[in-house]
Structure 1
């Protein structure tokens, strides 16, 4: 069909309008993004905990969330996504919209251990996240059920050597700091103990309380209440120094394994490419929340040490930790396909 000149003109005008509209839309998107960052947040924020409810990561997330929502004036939702030593939850946040509304309370496992342990993670611990700040350092606590026949680390070692392969140690998952604390103890003490991985600290603790497993190198916040109630027997703390919350409990090094030291840490992350103003708003709110005396006291009561730092300091710390734990993974021979 032959087009009239008026039809051609109309089409050209329409094309120009469409082109102009698209260009305007592009500029508008940038303006909206900037405005969004300035107004942030305008809706609830989710903190993904990559382990089951009741474990240390969950406990710390809920302590921080209460004050963080007061700072940001929006509800904070804690979403537990357990599995694969924290990888399932971490991957979910890595793939989330980078708008500041989905955060991750990551751990030494998700961001310093799993990269060396797993052949395929499904995410990059460095490239896929924007580190905000460490939240807390936490000692691990070697605990056992009171019905077990050992009351000290030396008695545990003697029993394990007399009964190779019969002592089971639970963990919150393969490759977590809880697991590697056990692997380090196994190597340094020269004992044959068997690892039993769980999908989080809480189910492992449940079996320990039920005397289904012998020992556990648990993060202190999730086991300290059971120690105080007498349902679990503390044998040692894994740090170089004793914990102020349990001053009568020796370190593993003091108790018979010289040179032994291991601990855990927890930190907040946003997805990579989250706008800088949003990251700054989140970081400021986190620092204020973590500086609150009530929050610091609650973390300390759980056996943890509150930490505040800049994103750059946190990134440098992660790099050092990745090197350290990568060597531990290599020396232990631990691996997950």
Structure 2
């Protein structure tokens, strides 16, 4: 083999490296697609719109929100995992998509550790059990007692089978020795609509429920992990569960973050992280998130988010195994 022919692979590699460096330096040169795994109307969508507005200004390119609901986020996650790792497709997953789904579903085609590059954690959101205000259920204890008196007549909604809301309901059935009917939705917003309409008994919701509570359409009977300044009369889940005789009952926590397909250049991840972090630190964005019962992440580094994904993946895997939770 001639010396020039032997040098061809090395030259090609150098050209590819140079091209990657140049593209990362020029990034972004076109609009970025931000995929949201649920239907419009919920808090996840609201957070995406906040990020879109702020990151677009910082990056000098439009960040376009695209909703891709289905199968508790699996449809969107599968698509993002296969997307080009160029920084023009990013994803806003909830905790369950990266840390619960892989333990439950056979049709998950992504690995949370090897198919995504963490950009940063956005927010931790408070969660609450909410019921229709005219339901006659005034407390968490009332909910448990009704479920015991009328097995399977109490229905609870979630953003999908295997979501953290689903885990909360399964854990309540196990610890409370009650029978509940699980109704999965393509996002929390349609579940809340059905509670307001009287077609569903209860939802373990994220901050999306707060406007309905303030409007008097829904009653919050417990919030997790602690009381909210915005809803001072609502007990924490620990307090409410203890009153119902279920001391120790805990519901999974919810967080949202940003990831990109694995292989996205580190320089691009750094630019996206900086734009995300700058947006979250804006006083107006923090005020909106806090008013909605959410806590903006104090550590927005990609390293911290990667460690959070790993820890919660292990924790929920153990919970699912201990509770013997299965999905059909």
* TM-score over 0.5 (shorter chain): yes
- Residues 1:120 and 2:103 aligned together: no
- Residues 1:324 and 2:315 aligned together: yes
Q: Specify the alignment match of 1:7 in structure 2.
A: none
Cα distance in 2 for residues equivalent to 1:202 and 1:73: 31
- Residues 1:292 and 2:282 aligned together: yes
- Residues 1:247 and 2:227 aligned together: no
Q: Specify the alignment match of 1:163 in structure 2.
A: 150
Cα distance in 2 for residues equivalent to 1:96 and 1:149: 48
Give a deviation string over 1:232-272, Cα, whole Å, max 9, x none. Answer: 11111131x21222121101221133222322011100100
**Normalising by structure 1, what TM-score?**
0.90
Higher mean Cα deviation, 163-172 or 307-316? Answer: 307-316
Report the secondary structure of 2:204's partner residue: strand
Aligned residue-pair number: 321
Gaps of 5+ in 1: 1-15
Cα distance in 2 for residues equivalent to 1:72 and 1:277: 13
Cα distance in 1 for residues equivalent to 2:109 and 2:142: 42
Cα distance in 1 for residues equivalent to 2:81 and 2:8: 33
Report the secondary structure of 1:141's partner residue: strand
Give a deviation string over 1:263-316, Cα, whole Å, max 9, x none. Answer: 201110010000111111111111111111111111111110001322111111
Higher mean Cα deviation, 18-27 or 48-57? Answer: 18-27
- Residues 1:282 and 2:272 aligned together: yes
Give a deviation string over 1:48-80, Cα, whole Å, max 9, x none. Answer: 111111122212111222111111111111111
Cα distance in 1 for residues equivalent to 2:325 and 2:68: 24
Q: Specify the alignment match of 2:302 in structure 1.
A: 311
Instruction: Decide which of 231, 242, 249 is 1:260's aligned counterpart.
Output: 249
- Residues 1:41 and 2:31 aligned together: no
1:318 Cα deviation (Å)?
1.2
Cα distance in 2 for residues equivalent to 1:280 and 1:98: 14
1:335 Cα deviation (Å)?
1.9
Give a deviation string over 1:158-185, Cα, whole Å, max 9, x none. Answer: 1111111100001110011111122222
Report the secondary structure of 2:61's partner residue: coil
Give a deviation string over 1:7-45, Cα, whole Å, max 9, x none. Answer: xxxxxxxxx999999986654433221111001111111
Cα distance in 1 for residues equivalent to 2:134 and 2:142: 14
Report the secondary structure of 1:226's partner residue: helix
Q: Which has the larger radius of gyration?
A: 1
Cα distance in 2 for residues equivalent to 1:25 and 1:126: 30
Cα distance in 1 for residues equivalent to 2:27 and 2:54: 17
Give a deviation string over 1:138-170, Cα, whole Å, max 9, x none. Answer: 121100012212111111111111111100001
- Residues 1:96 and 2:83 aligned together: yes
Q: Specify the alignment match of 2:183 in structure 1.
A: 196
Give a deviation string over 1:174-218, Cα, whole Å, max 9, x none. Answer: 011111122222222222111111111111111111100101001
1:125 Cα deviation (Å)?
1.1
Cα distance in 1 for residues equivalent to 2:41 and 2:166: 18
Gaps of 5+ in 2: none
Cα distance in 2 for residues equivalent to 1:65 and 1:184: 35
Is the 8 Å Cα contact of residues 129 and 271 (structure 1) preserved in structure 2?
yes
**Normalising by structure 2, what TM-score?**
0.92
**In angstroms, what is the RMSD of aligned CA positions?**
2.0
Q: Specify the alignment match of 1:333 in structure 2.
A: 324
Q: Specify the alignment match of 1:223 in structure 2.
A: 209
Is the 8 Å Cα contact of residues 143 and 216 (structure 1) preserved in structure 2?
yes
- Residues 1:58 and 2:45 aligned together: yes
Cα distance in 2 for residues equivalent to 1:160 and 1:24: 69
Cα distance in 1 for residues equivalent to 2:321 and 2:71: 19
Q: Specify the alignment match of 1:4 in structure 2.
A: none
